Structure 1
Amino acid sequence: MRVALIQLAGGSGDKKADIALACEKIREASAQGADIAVLPEMFCCPYETSAFRSYGEAEGGEAQAALSSLSRELGLYIVGGSVPELEGDRIYNTSYVYGRDGVQLARHRKVHLFDIDVEGGQRFMESDTLSPGSQITTFETEFGTMGLCICFDFRFEELARLMALRGAKVLFVPAAFNMTTGPAHWELMFRQRSVDNQCFTVGVSPARNESASYVAYGNSMAVDPWGTVLTRCGGEPCIQYVDLDLSRADSVRRQLPILSARRTDLYEIKEV
């Protein structure tokens, strides 16, 4: 299964141009044999709370229509980063997944809103504008079950574990860590979640734009179930490709049984 990690210099302030850029890079990935193309969080919207409503769209909006049409045309899966989704007076940070036929396979609304205030570092309050989602998201492909969450969601091991318990062998994470949290936690988080859940993790970030009010870390990466970093971008716009053999997850789980050895008579993580 070939995955394209598309680290875009989006959020330019021109939504149409950002969508066109994303489509151009997805076409490039398709030409390189990608089965799944993954975009960053807020790929066609500045990552600013004041921008979410004006750049937002309702179900079936401009960005969604473009990605659905392109997935059908090219015959590949698209994990569509995320966009501000408008529903009534609410705004969600939402990721859509499209199958090879262009049909929407999944919709994940970011469950854990990014409200942080790091002393001497980054402050950001998504809850000033956004509403939280309320579902754990997995979807099916011919390769197996995949999990999906967005950025701050990934800090919560319970969410990753529940996706793994549903059978997910790959967790896709459109994300936008910043220059405070990224250097400290980005690689650590992806390796940690891969090792804990014995699955592949794929994180795709916007490219770094030093002139933006919120500077993304970049460093999109894929990690295998043993915690090995398979590929990684720097800060600049790029596409990285990685070929994932999902039987590797089965092999690691067999050799080092963690999921199957849990003491559910003593403790339990379960969906509610």
Structure 2
Amino acid sequence: MQISDNTILITGGGTGIGRALAEAFHARGNRIIVTGRRREMLQQTLDANPGMDAIELDIRDAADIRRVAGELRQSHPTLNAVIHNAGIMRTEDLQGGDTADAEDTIATNLLGPICLTAALMPLLLQQAQSTIVTVSSGLAFLPGAITPTYCATKAAIHSYSQSLRYQLRDTPVRVLEIVPPYVQTELTGPAHASDPNAMPLKAFVDEVMAIIEASPDAQEVCVDRVKPLRNAAAGGDYAAFFQRFNDARSGAAAAQWKGRSAP
């Protein structure tokens, strides 16, 4: 991915990783459009970053996705990159019989990016060079059992990214997957943003941008902190690693995250 002179749409750009990426790319001379469901968060991002644009978007709503894609064709015909960052993460009791959280998570984390990619594809294909950036997770490769559907959607996004990259191999569109570790954001609530066990947001985005600058043809961006999860299956003791990892998360983390969702 070229690091500057892009027109980039970033979903979930009002908070967390999305906003931090928006600001990092904006500082490098890119035209940025952030989307999200909450107008007040988008406005805060615009106020802090003159020159950015914003469009409200409910990524769960196929009709809203089509509306936004239509608006972008008119307002930003040079759009050549989309960063699929919007997502939610919820704890689930799989013995409880309730699938509402699972359905919402799949609609947001998986169907949303698939539908938005499809809606933007004609515009991306007509550019000289374009990039589709997906944001998966280290939990795509070693799931955390207390957030099962989140992990499943991120594993699906990884798989989808591989298939998308292959199908687009003879086009001007490239596919880049960013694989975050546990990062200090409010994904599961305010305590998440100050958890000392999570990677500071600025450090994460700085490392991501450095990797993209150094390796513009990269297909995956994995900061050092996520590599144990990304490479868990290759380590030879996956079952033991899975057990240790989830045992560590099932106590205090489960209590902290219980009932919490993304803003």
Q: Structure 2 length normalisation: TM-score?
A: 0.37
More strand by share: 1
More helix by share: 2
Q: Structure 1 length normalisation: TM-score?
A: 0.36
